[in-house]
Structure 1
């Protein structure tokens, strides 16, 4: 039995915790025992993980990099669980995994870069570099992330692994559900629905303001369009005010946080994400599973997910006019929407399934454990993993 301790930051509904849910669901429980430490959790996502027999332990937020009280909590869990692997993601998780995994002599330390840190300070880069020196493997969730690890932090290529995100196959939405939601939102049959999904916590990143301004251009051109924004956060009030200032109250709907996003994807005709930076862009893969054409910015991992002029259009960040132009092209061409959507669906099913993701993680875990115990303690590999 290979014991794996995952350490992450807050569990809500983001990509990192979704990947841990995939592990909880699909890792072979006769081979792997999984435990997760998080700082905090919100909503029901942690309970979803627990339903699959994985313990989730909340320890509270770190007050600083060297929060002794929190590190001692992690060390106690390590002492009781005796993991063969400690796997940290996001700054807090990376910090706790690297420091405490090294201090408690966990055999294998894995760190995961989940962002595209274009604005990370030199101090942040130096700290991340120092932490990776304690790791046996460093995962990048996209080519953008691995490029950062190799080219900025100067980590050896043999130490870096590219493991792109995977998502669960979306549920099938019935026609009746779709019709009812469109009726509730007052969307007529001839209107084209543009949709976007994401946390509304930082407009400097997600740039929903750019999407709203681009949408306003389409409305001025009298295109029959509606914009649906799914998500919540502190920036939502600003977006609502922006919509009111532009006089778009009848064309823009804020759906708030939705646990079941499949229903909303089912009413979209076009999906758009225009972030200024993005490590991967999980919602793009989700949109592709729903056979939606995409308009996205050419940043981070998104430029690797969307094939320009094949599965959607890529535009420069902050370029509102280009965003509007590409949205207009898709709104006016149903055949192109269908072609892009079908090609995107094929790419998603080949590259972004949670089964593919978990199988890759399983192979990494197994190889590292086998290599470590054969090299360091060849007589203990079976005895240790069977305990």
Structure 2
């Protein structure tokens, strides 16, 4: 330990944007008061997120060489970060996401940081990604795991998959579910711009590849009911393409862009859909459950630990448009089923509170610091 009264923890994330991994990281550094935090981030960032951290007394540091899937800058990024870590006496380096996780753990090892923690927010290996890239990432993850004291996953299923792929040892892993402010979603008033008599289907996601937007569009063309409107909340590089596809196909879809009132939009909608090809344990599904919405999503990663098929929603395989059509139609046609599933979801969501998440992460830090420092 250093001479500081509180342990000094350095969090590193690839992109400080407005996604689930960023939300969990920010909630951690703002919620755990017994630690001193610094947050590092790569080339891509949202200034509002940086400002929020600094406004709350959290120091931030940008590392422009850390970029999303850019192997050219990886080695220089490791060297640059290691120099920074040597100059600052951190007790813990806690990395997030694939690129920052690999770069940060090797840099921490070079800088001889006492404790290294890594959080897996989502499985980076997917069939819709390049096979060579998948193999490269796998080898990097295996090597980085050997330089990690604790690997935190968002779901037991992610731990199992990583172990099956030869990443780390079972004793390194701890599951900490992503937590949210449940009351914010339970007590929200409906958004005034979400109205009408249609069944309102909601999807909240960054507009990027791998989220299943076009599967949803294909399903909408086959759903027989005319009384359906789909709302998509989020922003990202696919926005223009998605808007063109909606217009070209004549779909009942409204793209709302980024919204800060997601809880109010959920309160105004009837069901939630997320047909992703890769996820961790999505916060948006937890938020939908807290809002009392039934969920239709894919049977991947930690989602089955949130959604029990046939109890608070339906699960399908990635790319199963037939299944997506069937499950959406069943919920669109039955308000009673939507209400039944929503009530079960409200009960299941208790384990995903922000208080539980912070308590579990605090226990991880304390356990390792007592062991190693």
Q: Would the TM-score normalized by the shorter structure come out above 0.5?
A: yes
Query: Structure 2 CA distance, aligned partners of 1:194 and 1:68?
Result: 44
Once the two structures are superposed, residues 85-120 of structure 1 have per-residue CA deviations (whole angstroms, 9 ceiling, x without a partner) of 111111232123212211121111112222223336
Once the two structures are superposed, residues 14-49 of structure 1 have per-residue CA deviations (whole angstroms, 9 ceiling, x without a partner) of 122111211122102xx3111111113114122222
Matched, 1:109 2:116: yes
Query: Structure 2 CA distance, aligned partners of 1:65 and 1:362?
Result: 36
Give the one of 18, 25, 30 matched to 1:20: 25
Q: Which moved more, 1:40-49 or 1:304-313?
A: 40-49
Q: Cα distance, 1:255 vs. partner? A: 0.4
SS in 2 for 1:74: helix
- Residue 377 of structure 1 corresponds to which residue in structure 2? none
Once the two structures are superposed, residues 235-273 of structure 1 have per-residue CA deviations (whole angstroms, 9 ceiling, x without a partner) of 22222232223222xx21110121221122122101000
Query: Structure 1 CA distance, aligned partners of 2:280 and 2:297?
Result: 13
Matched, 1:168 2:171: no
- Residue 246 of structure 1 corresponds to which residue in structure 2? 249
Query: Structure 1 CA distance, aligned partners of 2:245 and 2:300?
Result: 25
Q: How does 1:48-63 map to 2 (within 5 A)?
A: 48-62=52-66
- Residue 277 of structure 2 corresponds to which residue in structure 1? 276
- Between the two proteins, the alignment pairs up a number of residues equal to 356
C-alpha contact 2:311 2:344 (8 A) present in aligned 1: yes
SS in 2 for 1:325: helix
Once the two structures are superposed, residues 143-199 of structure 1 have per-residue CA deviations (whole angstroms, 9 ceiling, x without a partner) of 232112211125221111122211233354335xx3x313xxxx42x3110110101
- Residue 378 of structure 1 corresponds to which residue in structure 2? none
Q: Which moved more, 1:255-264 or 1:62-71?
A: 62-71
- Residue 129 of structure 2 corresponds to which residue in structure 1? none
Query: Structure 2 CA distance, aligned partners of 1:302 and 1:238?
Result: 27
C-alpha contact 2:65 2:73 (8 A) present in aligned 1: no
C-alpha contact 2:41 2:63 (8 A) present in aligned 1: yes
Query: Structure 1 CA distance, aligned partners of 2:72 and 2:301?
Result: 26
- Residue 239 of structure 2 corresponds to which residue in structure 1? 236
Q: Larger C-alpha radius of gyration, 1 or 2?
A: 1
C-alpha contact 2:94 2:119 (8 A) present in aligned 1: yes
Once the two structures are superposed, residues 260-318 of structure 1 have per-residue CA deviations (whole angstroms, 9 ceiling, x without a partner) of 21122122101000012222222111111111001111122212211111110111221
C-alpha contact 2:206 2:236 (8 A) present in aligned 1: yes
C-alpha contact 1:114 1:145 (8 A) present in aligned 2: no
The CA RMSD measured in Å over matched residues stands at 1.9
Q: How does 1:164-243 map to 2 (within 5 A)?
A: 164-169=177-182, 170=184, 172-174=187-189, 178=191, 180-182=192-194, 187-188=195-196, 190-202=197-209, 205-218=210-223, 221-243=224-246
- Residue 39 of structure 1 corresponds to which residue in structure 2? 42
Q: How does 1:297-316 map to 2 (within 5 A)?
A: 297-316=298-317
Q: Which moved more, 1:134-143 or 1:359-368?
A: 134-143
Q: Which moved more, 1:75-84 or 1:98-107?
A: 75-84
Query: Structure 1 CA distance, aligned partners of 2:76 and 2:167?
Result: 32
Flag the 1:42–1:66 CA change in 2: closer, same or farther, 3 A.
closer
Query: Structure 1 CA distance, aligned partners of 2:167 and 2:29?
Result: 33
Give the one of 148, 170, 189 matched to 1:135: 148
TM-score (norm 2): 0.90
TM-score (norm 1): 0.87
Flag the 1:130–1:72 CA change in 2: closer, same or farther, 3 A.
closer
Where does structure 1 lack aligned partners over 5 or more consecutive residues? Answer: 374-387
Give the one of 65, 68, 75 matched to 2:82: 75
